[in-house]
Structure formats: C-alpha cells, structure tokens
C-alpha cells in the first residue's frame, strides 16, 4: 500500500487505499527535481525513512516507521555546500534555513522522504517531507502536505516496504 500522489482534475490527491484525499505539492508542481529551491515536488518512487512529531502538540503517531519527537534545537540543513546538506542538524548551526520546531503547525508531524539521500548530491534538493497542510492546502516548497487526520491514518496503515509514489 504505497502512498500515491497524483492530479485528479484540478486538485492533487494522495491515496493509500482509503480513497483519494486532498493534498498539496510544491509551487512548481510535480516534475524532475534538479536544484535546491526550485519549488518542485520530485516525481518518482521514494522510500519513507522515519517520522518526527511535536510531542507537545500531538500524540505519538501509530506507525511501523522509526519515530522520534522533534526537539527545539533541531533543523534540516538545506545549504548545498554544507557537509551536512540534506541531513538533520542541531542548533546553533552556522548555515541553515529549515527549523523543524515551528510556530505554525506544518511540521507538527513530518515523514522524512528518502529523496537525494543515498548518496546526497549537493544542490539537488533537500528537506523533502510529507508534512501537514495549511487549512487552504496552499502550495509547499516541494513537499507533499496532507491534513492531520489523513497523514495519521496513512502512517497507521503503512507496511514495511511502502513508499511515496509521486506521479507527474
């Protein structure tokens, strides 16, 4: 039961066997991702690595994926020439933009997607997550965003080898 993301009419949806559910993707749509900051949600088949969540806001999600609470000093390195590019880092950190502990709720629940991580290619793209959508399902910076109930349900239904399948 992979999580499949595709266009259905005028909206983008995700389906993991529960029927299509609305989701948001990058401002530049679904395509081959070629560089950091392009706003593209990468088309392809991607492994799901682990889950991070705000324990002060939501309960630990039920899932077979490795799961850990987000800590206030965690960030994701999205600076292409940094040796920790596309990896979790701890603050203070000299060069970073992507703090995981946010004021809004978008990162209250994150699934780390295995994009550009085996091996990491500097500048190809970083911080591709499944995370929570804004109430209006507005575009992301390249991630896939779902409602809390939908993402929680998808996580609970995952099997060991399930992946994120993003279709153009």
pLDDT in tens, 93-114: 877 768 999 999 999 999 999 9
Task: Give me the pLDDT at residue 98, please.
Answer: 85
Q: Output the pTM of the full model.
A: 0.96
* Strand pairing class (21-23; 67-69): unpaired
CA 53 to chain centroid, in Å, comes to: 12
pLDDT band with cut points at 50, 70 and 90 for residue 132: very high
Domain with 73, as residue range(s), is: 3-166
Specify the number of domains making up the chain. Answer: 1
The enclosing domain of 124 has a CATH number of: 2.40.440
- Alpha-carbon separation of residue 51 from 27, 66, 87, 105, 129 (angstroms): 24, 6, 14, 15, 10
Cα–Cα distance for residue pair 61/148, rounded to 1 Å? 10
Residue 49: HSE in the Cβ half-sphere, 13 Å Cα cutoff: 17
| φ, ψ at 8 (rounded to 5°) | -135, 100
Tokens of 4: 């499949």
**Each residue of 27-70: pLDDT tens digit?**
999 999 999 999 999 999 999 999 999 999 999 999 999 999 99
Bridge partners (DSSP) listed for residue 146? 132
Average pLDDT, the chain: 96
pLDDT cut 70: percent of the chain above it: 99
Distance CA(116)–CA(138), nearest Å, equals 24
């Amino acid at each position: 039961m992979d999580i499949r993301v595709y266009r259905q009419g005028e909206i983008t949806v995700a389906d993991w066997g529960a029927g299509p559910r609305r989701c948001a993707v990058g401002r530049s749509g679904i395509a081959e991702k070629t560089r950091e900051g392009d706003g593209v949600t990468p088309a392809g088949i991607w492994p799901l690595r682990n889950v991070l969540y705000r324990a002060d806001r939501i309960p630990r999600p039920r899932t077979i994926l490795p799961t850990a609470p987000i800590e206030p000093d965690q960030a994701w390195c999205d600076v292409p020439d940094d040796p920790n590019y596309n990896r979790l880092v701890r603050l203070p950190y000299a060069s970073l933009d992507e703090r995981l502990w946010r004021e809004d709720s978008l990162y209250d629940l994150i699934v780390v997607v295995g994009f550009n991580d085996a091996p990491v290619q500097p500048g190809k793209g970083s911080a591709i997550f499944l995370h929570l959508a804004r109430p209006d399902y507005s575009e992301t910076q390249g991630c896939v965003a779902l409602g809390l109930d939908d993402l929680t349900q998808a996580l609970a239904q995952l099997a060991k080898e399930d992946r994120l399948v993003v279709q153009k």
